[in-house]
Amino acid sequence: MIQEINGFFAAIGEKPLAILEGQAGTSEFEMLRCTKEEYTRRLLQKLPRYRSLPPALIPDAFLQALRHREGELKG
């Protein structure tokens, strides 16, 4: 998931997420949580109108995919 987001960021001229995949001792769930937090922070910087929405209602495909995977891992 991180690679897809970073590929998108590269295509639009943004810096990649500073999340290191495969870092020793880091679970997929923890990586996902960090990715979701950083991505959400950047999204809200670019689209401040989303700040008034609850996070679960932000209409963003990457964010929805991250939440979906988080649900699978919790499940």
DSSP code, position 3: H
For residue range 47-67, list pLDDT tens digits in order.
Answer: 999 999 998 899 999 999 999
For residue range 23-40, list pLDDT tens digits in order.
Answer: 667 788 888 899 999 999
Whether the CB-CB separation of 29 and 48 falls below 8 Å is answered with no
Q: Which residue has the tokens 């929405």?
A: 53
Predicted local distance difference test score (pLDDT) of residue 23: 64
DSSP code per residue over 25-69 = T--HHHHHHHHHHHHHHHHHHH-GGGGGS-GGG---HHHHHHHHH
pTM: 0.84
